[in-house]
Amino acid sequence: MDWYTSGEWLGPQPGATLDNRLFAICRNYEPEQPNYIHDQKQITAFPELQKNNYFMLSPLLKRAFFSLAENCLEIRHNRIYVRHETFSEWQNLITCITPLPFLAACALSHHKDLKKAIQLLVESLKYSTLPSCYDPLLDMLCNYSHGIGNTLKNMNRMRQNSHASFFGFTPRTESVFMEKIGGECKGQLHDLHFHWNGTTEADFVWAHCMGDPNGVIRELLEKWNKNDYIKRYYHQHGISSPYFFHNGFQLAQWLHRWMTWTILQKKLSLPSEIANWDKCKYDRKKHCDCVDRFDCENHCGSKIHCKCESDVACANRHGRKGIAGCDSDYRNGKSLSKIDIFNQIRFQYNFPQQQPPLHSFMKGRLHSLKPFSTYINLPPDATSIQLEGVLWLYILYELDADSQLLPYLVHPYLLLQCRFHQMLVQQVSQVGFDQFQNLSDIGLRDHQESHSYYQRFLQLEGMYGPYLGYTEGRFAPKISAEKNRKLIGKLLDGYCRAHGWLLRPDTELVPHPRQKPDACVSGQDIGLVAHFIKRKENDSNTICRYSKLRKDTLKQAIELVKTMRQLPVLRNILVGKDAAANEMHAPPEIFAPLFRYLGDHGITHSTYHAGEDYLHLASGIRAVEEAIRFLDLRSGDRIGHCTALGIAPDIWRRSMDPDIYLPQGEWLDNLIWISMRIRREAGFSHFKNFLMNKIERFFFEIYGELAPPLYVLHRAWKNRQLDARFLYYPFVTDFIELVKKKDIQGENLATHQIENFKSSLSYLSNYYRTETSLIIDSISKDFEAFRIFKKYHTKKIREKYEKPIKIKRDDISDEVFIFLQDTIVSKMCEKNILAEVMPTSNVRISFYKKYSDHHMMLWVDPDNKRPKPVMTLATDDPGIFSTNLRNEYSHFIHAIRTHLKFSADQAYRVAAELMQNAKAYKFQRHHPDTSKEEKVFTIRNESSYFG
């Protein structure tokens, strides 16, 4: 890209040069492969590069698009699908490049006829750019546009007529299977875990940015000025400021216009000398000394040069050192600098390059183009993605060896789009939650996603029609009820528009008379889950750990309850609560008071992101149990990801260094927690001694005193579910003094004395009374444990707690890890808690390299006798991971059939069971009583107590 932006063209190159560049790119994406693997791939794909010839860009681009499309895509029943055997490779490919040119190449190579290819591509790109594998049984389970009963009848009829079987079923097994599924799985797919921000596919975001680059840049600048992490991420990609995108968008706009103009020359009624502007008006056999055809229009002389029939032939025949008769700059081996066409249009934009005058016949030409659809007979409501796809069809149709200009427009445009695409989609090399969060925080999607939800509801329909019957999308509550109303209003407006309804100000839903029936989605039901964002603690001078986060999230919760009171429709669609973002930034204990408050106000269902990413595997497993215990998860609740509960310990070890660095307080918490989990086990005697020695050492390092008995430490750990902001609340300090006084007297508080003290709090609000009572109970039960808990929140201990230490990766054996995993999984089964599993998200973020490594394989393996939680599949962030729920099931079915050797019967039965789990565990509607307005903060000077 630097060649183009610096004013040079990528002219004919020696084969060895291109071969070396391709090798470097392949090596970067698959560094674990030896060199000879990359060499063999390149020889197979581009054998011509091994010869000492010069190659132009046009045939190279065309070969790449068509060969990849042939390898990964296929046409079935006039629809584009991904081949089963290359689905994983395709998933990796579309993380770094837009799928549009490959979809266009597939359509063009199948139909040959441009008109038919356009019809196929326009229909395919109606809502989404992500194709799936052809799988009629999965289609049946997803319950597309036909009713499932009709689908079963049609498939049975097809089988009887052809005397064949689908996917290896015997005819009898197939019939029984279909009857079973027809009785059990009558609904469509249910996606119980995805985030509304992060859903939009990259191509839709690119189209939006091309249409409104200035609005996007304004939002990027706001984030740039507020967040140092964003600057750090930009610098990792060699971007010094958001103006990089400003220049890129404008250059891409210009390239797009010129590509359109080039493609449409024959359709535009232009004078012949303008319509043929890219052809030299002089005899090609004379070979003027102009370095390109633009230069020829103004500077062509009468010199006679070599008789080469083309630039490529000249480069191959005479080399690049110059020969007699080849005296142009290009033929003498110089690059095409200072004459490239980009500089000739830049005067319209703010590019810091020289600005030579524009050729007179091009003035105003690019900016006077009518919409592309008017020239190719597309429907007037064709989307920007459909137009982009059709443009790629024309590009591939016109891209040939004689194309002199088009490849040099297509190539930089594609490079710009790919650079942008890779800032929107998590790359294979971007491992860990921090990399994922950067993609969310930089805000490239924000401007597009903040405008409307309409396109996202259409996108959820997929490429082949509706497959989702119910979705539970996460959204982040705002800091005021007014902002919440605006957010919910936009979301409901998008939902209603997609379904052909009109949202009135009084929130009633009525039919929308102007919406075309075929443009509406089909009956998709929605639920909303409020997720609160985990944030890192940066201030140790507060009254307790994460004081600001506790205060901010509670304020958001109060405003959310107020919104429910003001917006009655929200009571029917707000079905649950969650806490998301990087779990290493805030533990579950922080959200325990928040979940209690929302539960008291009717939002009773809970889910929580836990065990997704962690400094140590023991930390990840412990986080899941803390979520269950501290957040009081019950039957029907769910936990998102749970990677730590299923990952094979050896996979985790292979991904970690022998030495691991983490805060010594976190390591102490792990040691105490593990000791409590294994204390009653007959084995692990040597390891138990190791744990106690380490606990005594690190407890003294942090707390400056000898460690109390293990049961006291365990009770102190369980106290973390309390709201630590109340530790210095007057009634709490009064009760502590009363307990101390009785202790001096050698007495204990009687039960009636404790209850009398609680009754004195009756004038407080429900929230204050509940949290204070919980603290009083904790003090009464074990004052020593409460003392350690209170000390845990002091500034001095917090600073020692965060001190990093180095530990050995292998201090804990695989046997212990497996025992801990099985213990928590058993607890989930006992409490009837579902695991939300997101295959592509986990493969990108966690330590997995392929889908067959994923812990979902362990949890469906019939030969595995370990405990298995109830689970279902979900998407997490469909846009950031370039996926959808149907594709997640395709990956799952492919993995269990190839890795676990499931038969088709087994594989689709398991898939149907996961779909049924989603239907059973979706959060049910509730009607909370929000009529009573509660004043939560009753202290006049709240800051004096809560910091």
Sequence-ordered list of residues with C-beta below 8 angstroms from that of 222, at least 6 positions apart, any chain:
none
Among residues 776, 793, 770, which one has the least CA distance to residue 738?
776
Residue predicted with more confidence, 734 or 130: 130
pLDDT tens per residue across span 790-844? 999 999 999 999 999 999 999 999 999 999 999 999 999 999 999 999 999 999 9
Helices (H), 329-480: 373-376, 384-398, 406-421, 433-441, 446-451, 454-459
State percent of the chain over pLDDT 90: 54
Name the amino acid, one letter, at 3.
W
- Judge contact between 622 and 669, C-beta under 8 A: yes
pLDDT at 522: 57
Q: State how far the Cα of 357 lies from the Cα of 361, in Å rounded to an integer.
A: 12
On average, the pLDDT of the chain sits at 81
The answer on pLDDT for 929 being more than 90 is no
pLDDT tens per residue across span 542-577? 999 999 999 999 999 999 999 999 988 898 899 999
Give me the mean pLDDT over the 51-68 stretch. 81
pLDDT tens per residue across span 65-82? 999 999 999 999 999 999
pLDDT at 200: 96
Instruction: For residue 173, give both structure tokens.
Output: 């097994």
CA distances from 441 to 376, 381, 838, 895 (A): 39, 33, 21, 32
Q: State how far the Cα of 370 lies from the Cα of 492, in Å rounded to an integer.
A: 34
- Judge contact between 613 and 433, C-beta under 8 A: yes
Give me the mean pLDDT over the 767-788 stretch. 94
The backbone torsions φ and ψ at residue 834, rounded to the nearest 5 degrees and listed phi first, read -90, 145
Give me the mean pLDDT over the 441-468 stretch. 90
What letter would DSSP give residue 115?
A: H
465 pLDDT band (50/70/90 cuts)?
confident
Name the amino acid, one letter, at 471.
T
Concatenated DSSP letters for 805-823?
A: EEEEGGGS-HHHHHHHHHH
Half-sphere exposure of 74 (CA within 13 A, CB side): 13
pLDDT at 98: 97
The answer on pLDDT for 596 being more than 80 is yes
Q: Which of 322-331, 500-509, 512-521 has the highest mean pLDDT?
A: 500-509
**Virtual torsion, Cα 699, 703, 708, 711, nearest 10 deg:** -70
**Counts of helices then strands in the chain (DSSP H, E):** 44, 16
Q: State how far the Cα of 591 lies from the Cα of 623, in Å rounded to an integer.
A: 13
The answer on pLDDT for 759 being more than 50 is yes
Q: Which of 212-226, 432-446, 500-514, 809-823 has the highest mean pLDDT?
A: 809-823
pLDDT tens per residue across span 132-155? 999 999 988 887 433 333 433 444
The pTM assigned to this predicted structure is: 0.84
Concatenated DSSP letters for 252-275?
A: HHHHHHHHHHHHTTTTS---HHHH
Q: How far apart are the first and last CA of the chain?
A: 52
Q: Which of 99-113, 155-169, 177-191, 234-248 has the highest mean pLDDT?
A: 99-113
Concatenated DSSP letters for 418-429?
A: HHHHTTTS--TT
The answer on pLDDT for 331 being more than 70 is no
pLDDT at 321: 34
pLDDT at 130: 97
Domain boundaries for CATH 3.20.20 within the chain: 453-692+810-921
Give me the mean pLDDT over the 170-193 stretch. 51
pLDDT at 291: 37
Q: Which of 160-164, 288-292, 578-582 has the highest mean pLDDT?
A: 578-582
The backbone torsions φ and ψ at residue 794, rounded to the nearest 5 degrees and listed phi first, read -75, 155
- Judge contact between 680 and 823, C-beta under 8 A: no
Q: State how far the Cα of 125 lies from the Cα of 119, in Å rounded to an integer.
A: 10
Among residues 829, 871, 869, 837, which one has the least CA distance to residue 854?
837
176 pLDDT band (50/70/90 cuts)?
very low
441 pLDDT band (50/70/90 cuts)?
confident
pLDDT at 402: 65
Half-sphere exposure of 694 (CA within 13 A, CB side): 23
Residue predicted with more confidence, 688 or 8: 688
pLDDT tens per residue across span 659-669? 999 999 999 99
The answer on pLDDT for 945 being more than 50 is no
What letter would DSSP give residue 686?
A: H
Q: State how far the Cα of 689 lies from the Cα of 686, in Å rounded to an integer.
A: 5
Give me the mean pLDDT over the 38-48 stretch. 76
Instruction: For residue 812, give both structure tokens.
Output: 């804990």
Q: State how far the Cα of 154 lies from the Cα of 178, in Å rounded to an integer.
A: 11
51 pLDDT band (50/70/90 cuts)?
low
Element (H, E) at 78: none
The backbone torsions φ and ψ at residue 472, rounded to the nearest 5 degrees and listed phi first, read -115, 100
Residue predicted with more confidence, 95 or 257: 95
The answer on pLDDT for 925 being more than 80 is no
pLDDT at 2: 65
Give me the mean pLDDT over the 175-195 stretch. 59
Sequence-ordered list of residues with C-beta below 8 angstroms from that of 557, at least 6 positions apart, any chain:
477, 532, 594, 597, 598
The answer on pLDDT for 88 being more than 60 is yes
pLDDT tens per residue across span 621-652? 999 999 999 999 999 999 999 999 999 999 99
pLDDT at 267: 54
Which residues are bridge partners to 804 per DSSP? 663
In this structure, the number of other CB atoms found within 10 A of the CB of residue 611 comes to: 30
Instruction: For residue 720, give both structure tokens.
Output: 């973390």
Strands 73-76 and 54-55: unpaired
Q: State how far the Cα of 6 lies from the Cα of 354, in Å rounded to an integer.
A: 10
Q: Is 769 exposed, middle or buried (0-12, 13-18, 19+ CB in 10 A)?
A: middle
327 pLDDT band (50/70/90 cuts)?
very low
Give me the mean pLDDT over the 115-125 stretch. 94
- How long a stretch of residues is the chain? 947
pLDDT at 266: 54
Question: Residues 497, 500, 503, 504: is their CA dihedral positive or negative?
Answer: positive
Element (H, E) at 35: helix 35-45
pLDDT tens per residue across span 372-395? 666 777 877 888 899 999 999 999
Q: Say whether 638 sits in a helix, a strand or coil.
A: strand
pLDDT at 941: 35
Which residues are bridge partners to 194 per DSSP? 473, 876
Q: State how far the Cα of 459 lies from the Cα of 254, in Å rounded to an integer.
A: 28
212 pLDDT band (50/70/90 cuts)?
confident
Question: Residues 555, 557, 558, 562: is their CA dihedral positive or negative?
Answer: positive
Q: Which of 250-264, 289-303, 851-865 has the highest mean pLDDT?
A: 851-865
Give Rg (Cα) of the chain. 32
What letter would DSSP give residue 925?
A: P
CATH of domain 453-692+810-921: 3.20.20
Residue 724 gets the label, from left (phi > 0), alpha (psi -120 to 50) or beta, of alpha
- Judge contact between 362 and 273, C-beta under 8 A: no
Q: State how far the Cα of 777 lies from the Cα of 757, in Å rounded to an integer.
A: 11
